[in-house]
Amino acid sequence: MHRPKHSNFDPAEDGAQSPDLPLRSQVVSHHRDALVSNKLYEMVDHTDAGSVKSETAVANAPSHHSSAHPRSKALYTPEQRVKRDATKWTLVQGILAPLQFLIFLISLGLVIRYLLTGEGFVIATWSIVIKTLVLYTIMITGAIWERVVFGCYLFAPAFFWEDVFSFLVLTLHTAYLVMLFGGFGSPEQQMWVALAAYAAYVINAGQFLLKLRAARLDEQRANAQAGGRA
């Protein structure tokens, strides 16, 4: 038999396809598909994470009705409001407060007149004494009013700073009386102490007027809520 001669033919050199080339192609293709799939999964995970963060941020965002901006506490509880309206000391305070302010205006004019002209010392002095006595009266009756409404004679939380400043007003008025009856200082110095007491009184009166306005606003809100529920 004729045996074929041995040949050094190399398929790669001749451009022929190697027998294991399809397997390699499958491996490369599978690897490429895996990379694409992983990239897609990363994109989806990133999108989902962003969505979760966005939803969390929206859920945690403070709203206009959240506790970040709590509504201020009402000046009176419903029970305290009933006590305030029922006690006679509310009427007493309502009478004394404007009466004291009227006396203050008259006395202030007399004190300034004396300091400018040197006239009317006696009447100016009496006006300050009367103003101081009315202040003592309104302080005592006010303490009784607080006891009835809030359960303590002074420094109820609703009027704490007003009471603190009232003691400064009372101290300055008392200092004037000590100077007057003790013979301390000149008449002009006594009048200047009276003016300091009056300045403190004006600030204190402003504090109470603001609280009166706050109480009225509280009542308006309470009435509006009651009307809405009805």
pLDDT value for 224: 76
Q: 182 and 99 in one domain?
A: yes
Q: 219 and 106 in one domain?
A: yes
Give Rg (Cα) of the chain.
44
Q: 222 and 111 in one domain?
A: yes
Which two three-digit tokens encode residue 213? 């306005």
Please report which residue ranges of 70-87 form alpha helices under DSSP H: 78-86
pLDDT value for 228: 66
Q: How many domains does the chain have?
A: 2
Type of residue at 63: S
| Residue bearing the bigger pLDDT, 60 or 185 | 185
Q: 111 and 41 in one domain?
A: no
Residue 57 lies in a domain: no
* Residue 193: CB atoms within 10 Å: 21
For residue 29, the enclosing domain spans 24-51
Segment 51-80 shows an average pLDDT of: 57
| Residue bearing the bigger pLDDT, 213 or 56 | 213
Over the stretch 135-172, which tens digit does the pLDDT of each residue have?
Answer: 999 999 999 999 999 999 999 999 999 999 999 999 99
Which two three-digit tokens encode residue 112? 């300034």
- What beta strand segments (E) does the chain contain? none
The pTM score is 0.66
Q: 126 and 216 in one domain?
A: yes
Q: Is the pLDDT of residue 65 over 80?
A: no
Question: Residue 100: which residues within 8 A CB-CB, separation 6 or more?
Answer: 131, 134, 135, 138
Rounded to the nearest 10 degrees, the angle between the axes of helix 121-150 and helix 88-117 is 160
Q: 110 and 34 in one domain?
A: no
Q: 203 and 107 in one domain?
A: yes
Q: 208 and 96 in one domain?
A: yes
C-alpha angle 13-19-20 in degrees, rounded to nearest 5: 105
pLDDT value for 146: 96
Q: 169 and 107 in one domain?
A: yes
Indicate the SS3 state at residue 209: helix
Q: 135 and 185 in one domain?
A: yes
Residue 186 lies in a domain: yes
Q: Is the pLDDT of residue 220 over 90?
A: no
Q: Is the pLDDT of residue 106 over 60?
A: yes
Going by pLDDT thresholds of 50, 70 and 90, the confidence category of residue 230 is low
Q: Compute the distance between CA of residue 201 and CA of residue 206 in angstroms, rounded to an integer.
A: 9
Question: Residue 130: which residues within 8 A CB-CB, separation 6 or more?
Answer: 103, 107
Phi and psi torsions of 176, nearest 5°: -65, -45
Q: 91 and 47 in one domain?
A: no
Q: Is the pLDDT of residue 60 over 70?
A: no
| Residue bearing the bigger pLDDT, 205 or 56 | 205
Q: Is the pLDDT of residue 182 over 80?
A: yes
Q: 146 and 41 in one domain?
A: no
Rounded to the nearest 10 degrees, the angle between the axes of helix 187-229 and helix 160-182 is 160
